[in-house]
Structure 1
Amino acid sequence: MKTQISTIFILFFCLDIFAQAPPRHTLTVETYDSQSMTALRGVSVSYSAGTQGGVSNFRGAFPIKFSGDSVEITLSLVGYQKITRWVKPGTATRIYLKESDTQLGEVQVTGYENHRKLSEIPASIGLLKSNDLERYSNTNLVPALNTLPGVRMEERSPGSYRMSIRGSTLRSPFGVRNVKVYWNEIPLTDPSGNTYLNQIELGNVGRIEVLKGPAGSIYGAGTGGAILLDSPKAPEADQLQARTTVGSFGLFSMNLGIKTHSEKQTTFLNYSKTQADGYRTQSTMKREGINLQTYFYTDLKRTISANLLYSDLFYQTPGGLTLAQYKANPAQARPTVNTALGAVDQKAAIYLKTLQLGIAQNYDFNEHWTNRTAIYLSQTKAENPSIRNFERRLEPSWGGRSVTNYRFENGLFQGKISGGIEYQQGVSSIKTYGNKRGNVDTLQTDDEVTARQFLAFAQAEFDLPQNFFLTIGGSYNRLNYSFLRLGKNAILQEKTFDPVFSPRIALLKKINSSLSAYGSISNGFSPPSVAEVRPSEGSFNFALNPEKGTNYEVGIRGNLLRQRLVFDIAAYSFRLRETIVTRRTDDGADYFANAGNTSQKGLEIALKYLVSKSLIFWTNYTLQEYKFENYVTGGKDYSGNRLTGTSPNNVNIGLDFNSSGGFYANATFQFTDKIYLNDANTDAADSYQLLGGKIGYQKKLSKHFKINAFAGIDNALDVTYSLGNDLNATGGRYYNAAAGRNYYGGTTLNWMF
Structure 2
Amino acid sequence: MVFNIIGPHQEADILIPPHKPRRICPALLCLALGISCHAQATTETVLVTATRSAQQGFELPVAIGAVSGPDITDGQWGVNLSEALWRVPGAVALNRQNYAQDIQVSLRGFGARAAFGVRGVRLIQDGIPLTMPDGQGQAASIDLLSAARIEVLRGPFSALYGNHSGGVIQVFSEDGPEPGLALLRHAGGSDGTRDTSLKLAGRQGAVNYLLNASSFATDGARDHSAARRDSANARLRITLEGGTLTLLGNWLDQPMSQDPLGLSRAQFEENPRQADASALTYDTRKTIRQMQGGAVWEQRLGGDVLRLSAYSGTRGVTQYQSIPAATQTSPLHPGGVADFDRRFEGLGLRWTRSPRDSGDWELVAGIDADRMIDDRKGYRNFLGGPLAPTALGVIGALRRDEDNRVRSINAYLQGQWTPREDWTLHAGLRHTRVAFASRDRYLADGNDGSGAADYSDTSPVAGLLWRLTPDVHLYANLGYGFETPTFTEMSYRAGNLPGLNFDLKPSTSRSVEAGVKARPWRDAVLDAALFRVDSDDEIVVDGSAGGRTTYRNGGRTLRQGLELSLTTPLGRGLDLTTACSLLRAEYRDAIGAVAPGNRLPAVPAHACHGELAWRPGWPEWESQAATGFSTALEIHHLSGMYADDANTTLAPAYTVTALRAGWRQRLGSWELQEFLRVDNLTDRRYVGSVIVNERNGRYYEPAPGRAWMAGVAVGYRF
- Scaled by the length of structure 2, the TM-score of the pair is 0.88
Contact 2:213 2:232 in 1 (8 A): yes
Counterpart Cα distance in 2 of 1:492 and 1:315: 31
User: Which range moved further: 208-217 or 325-334?
Assistant: 208-217
Residue 586 (structure 1) shift: 7.0
Q: How does 1:16-55 map to 2 (within 5 A)?
A: 32-34=4-6, 37=10, 39-42=12-15
SS where residue 144 of structure 1 aligns?
helix
Amino acid corresponding to residue 351 of structure 2 in structure 1: T
Note if 1:556 corresponds to 2:516: yes
Deviations 1:553-579 (A, max 9, x none): 00101212233x210101101111111
Q: Is the 8 A contact 1:677 1:683 kept in 2?
A: yes
Deviation at 1:164, TM superposition (A): 0.8
| Mapped pair 1:486 → 2:441 | yes
Residue aligning to 1:149? 89
Percent sequence identity is 24
Q: CA–CA distance in 2 between the matches of 1:182 and 1:581?
A: 24
* Residues 580-621 of structure 1: per-residue CA shift (max 9 Å, x gap): 111226777421100111110010000111112622111121
Q: Distance in 1 between matches of 2:447 and 2:346?
A: 29
Counterpart CA distance in 2 for 1:500 and 1:35 is 31
Structure 2 CA distance for partners of 1:38 and 1:296, relative to 1, 3 Å: closer
Separation in 2, partners of 1:609, 1:197: 30
Letter in 2 for 1:625: R
1:400 aligns with 2:347: yes
User: Is it true that 1:547 corresponds to 2:507 in the alignment?
Assistant: yes
Cα distance in structure 2, aligned partners of 1:229 and 1:586: 33
Residue aligning to 1:370: 305
Q: Which residue of 2 aligns with 1:611?
A: 570
CA–CA separation in structure 1 for the residues paired with 2:616 and 2:546 = 57
CA distance in 2: counterparts of 1:613 and 1:38, whole angstroms: 33
What secondary structure does 2:502 align onto?
Answer: coil
Q: Which residue of 2 aligns with 1:387?
A: 322
Secondary structure at the aligned position of 1:531 is classed as helix
Are 2:594 and 1:622 equivalent residues in the alignment? no
2:671 maps to which residue?
Answer: 706
CA drift of 1:443 comes to 1.0
- Given that residues 549 and 574 in structure 1 are in contact (C-alpha distance below 8 angstroms), is that contact kept between their aligned partners in structure 2? yes
The answer to whether the aligner puts 1:222 opposite 2:161 as a matched pair is no
Q: 1:334 to 1:178 in 2, by over 3 A?
A: same
Which 10-residue stretch deviates more, 645-654 or 189-198?
A: 189-198
Indicate which of 414, 431, 440 corresponds to 2:377. 431
Instruction: Note if contact 1:693-1:713 (Cα within 8 Å) is conserved in structure 2.
Output: yes
Equivalence for 1:443 = 398
Higher mean C-alpha displacement, 612-621 vs 263-272 = 612-621
1:721 Cα deviation after fit: 1.6
Opposite residue 378 of structure 1, the aligned amino acid is G
Report the Cα offset of residue 56 of structure 1: 11
Counterpart of 1:742 in structure 2 is: 707
User: Partners of 2:320 and 2:407 in 1: how far apart?
Assistant: 28
Taking the aligned partners of 1:216 and 1:371, their CA distance within structure 2 comes to 22
Residue 49 (structure 2) pairs with residue 111 (structure 1): yes
Q: What amino acid sits opposite 1:128 in the alignment?
A: V
Deviations 1:477-520 (A, max 9, x none): 00110011103457374433342000000000122322211000
The separation in 2 between residues aligned to 1:541 and 1:200, in whole angstroms, is: 30
The alpha-carbon distance between structure 1 residues 706 and 211, as it changes in their structure 2 partners (threshold 3 A), is same
Q: Report whether the alignment pairs 1:357 with 2:357.
A: no
Which of 451, 456, 476 aligns to 1:519? It is 476
Shift of 1:289: 1.2
Q: CA RMSD in A?
A: 2.1
Could you tell me how far apart the structure 1 residues matched to 2:665 and 2:265 are?
49
Which shifted more, 661-670 or 127-136? 127-136
The answer as to 2:66 corresponding to 1:127 is: yes
Shift of 1:205: 2.2
Look up the equivalent residue of 1:551 and give its one-letter code. S
AA aligned to 1:429 is D
Residue 640 of structure 1 deviates from its aligned partner by 0.8
Cα 1:575–1:268 shift into 2, 3 Å = same
- State the alpha-carbon separation in 2 of the partners of residues 482 and 641 from structure 1: 35
Q: 1:284 to 1:247 in 2, by over 3 A?
A: same
Aligned equivalents of 1:223, 1:440: Cα separation in 2: 37
CA shift at 1:732, angstroms? 1.4
Structure 1 CA distance for aligned equivalents of residues 48 and 544 of structure 2:
43
Kept in 1, the 8 Å contact 2:67–2:87? The answer is: no
Letter in 1 for 2:290: T
Contact 2:90 2:563 in 1 (8 A): yes
Q: How does 1:595-610 map to 2 (within 5 A)?
A: 595-610=554-569
Instruction: Decide which of 358, 363, 368 is 1:422's aligned counterpart.
Output: 368
- Answer with 1 or 2: which has the greater Rg: 1
Q: Which amino acid is 2:566 matched to?
A: L
Distance of 1:400 and 1:477 partners within structure 2: 15
Structure 1 position 213, deviation (Å): 2.2
- CA–CA separation in structure 2 for the residues paired with 1:315 and 1:588: 13
Instruction: Give the Cα–Cα distance (whole angstroms) in 1 for the partners of residues 280 and 271 of structure 2.
Output: 15
CA distance in structure 2 between the partners assigned to 1:648 and 1:670 by the alignment: 14
- Does the 8 Å CA contact 1:168/1:645 hold for their aligned counterparts? no
Question: 236, 260, 265: which one pairs with 2:207?
Answer: 265
Tell me, in whole angstroms, the C-alpha distance in 2 between the residues paired with 1:586 and 1:715. 30
Structure 2 gap ranges (5+): 20-40, 324-335, 383-391, 618-626
Q: 1:716 to 1:518 in 2, by over 3 A?
A: same
Residue pair 2:532, 2:560 contacting (<8 A) in 1 also: yes
Aligned-partner Cα distance in 1 for 2:243–2:98: 41
In the TM superposition, residue 384 of structure 1 has moved relative to its aligned partner by: 0.6
Cα pair 2:178 2:202 within 8 Å, conserved? no
Count of residues in correspondence between the two structures:
656
Aligned to 2:419: 464
1:727 counterpart = 2:668? no
The residue that corresponds to 1:189 in the other structure is: 131
> Shift of the alpha carbon at 1:157?
2.5
| 1:456–1:477 CA contact under 8 A, matched in 2 | yes
| Partner amino acid, structure 1, of 2:362 | K
Amino acid at match of 1:110: V
After TM superposition, the structure 1 = structure 2 runs for residues 286-301 of structure 1, keeping only pairs within 5 Å, are: 286-299=228-241, 301=242
Deviation for aligned residue 1:104: 5.2
**CA deviation digits over 1:152-176, x for unaligned, max 9?**
1122234222211111545311110
| CA–CA separation in structure 2 for the residues paired with 1:42 and 1:311 | 39
Q: Normalised by the size of structure 1, how large is the TM-score? A: 0.84
One-letter identity of the residue aligned with 1:450: R
Residues 1:667 and 2:608 are matched in the alignment: no
1:645 is aligned, of 602, 613, 623, to 602
Instruction: Please show how residues 33-182 of structure 1 align to structure 2 within 5 Å.
Output: 33-34=5-6, 37=10, 39-42=12-15, 105-112=43-50, 113-139=52-78, 140-159=80-99, 160-182=102-124
CA contact (8 A) 1:217 1:457 kept: no
Equivalent of 1:304 in 239, 242, 245 = 245
Structure 2 equivalent of residue 566 of structure 1: 525
Q: The residue matched to 1:372 in structure 2 has which SS? A: strand
What is the distance in 2 between the residues matched to 1:433 and 1:192?
Answer: 24
SS at match of 1:731: coil
Looking at structure 1, the residues matched to 137 and 243 of structure 2 have their Cα atoms a distance apart, in angstroms, of: 30
Residues 240-276 of structure 1 deviation map (CA, whole Å, 9 limit, x = unaligned): 0111111010011011011011440110011110111
Shift of 1:659: 1.9
Moved more, 528-537 or 502-511: 528-537
1:278 is matched with 220
Aligned residue number for residue 196 of structure 2: 254
Q: Aligned partner of 1:315: which letter?
A: S
Contact 2:539 2:554 in 1 (8 A): yes
Amino acid in the other structure paired with 2:465: L
Q: Which moved more, 1:475-484 or 1:194-203?
A: 194-203
Contact 1:673 1:686 in 2 (8 A): yes
Shift of 1:698: 0.9
Paired residue for 1:330, among 272, 292, 296? 272
Distance 2:714 2:574 in 1: 25
For structure 1, the 5+ residue unaligned runs are 1-29, 44-54, 58-102, 336-341
CA–CA distance in 2 between the matches of 1:201 and 1:168?
A: 23
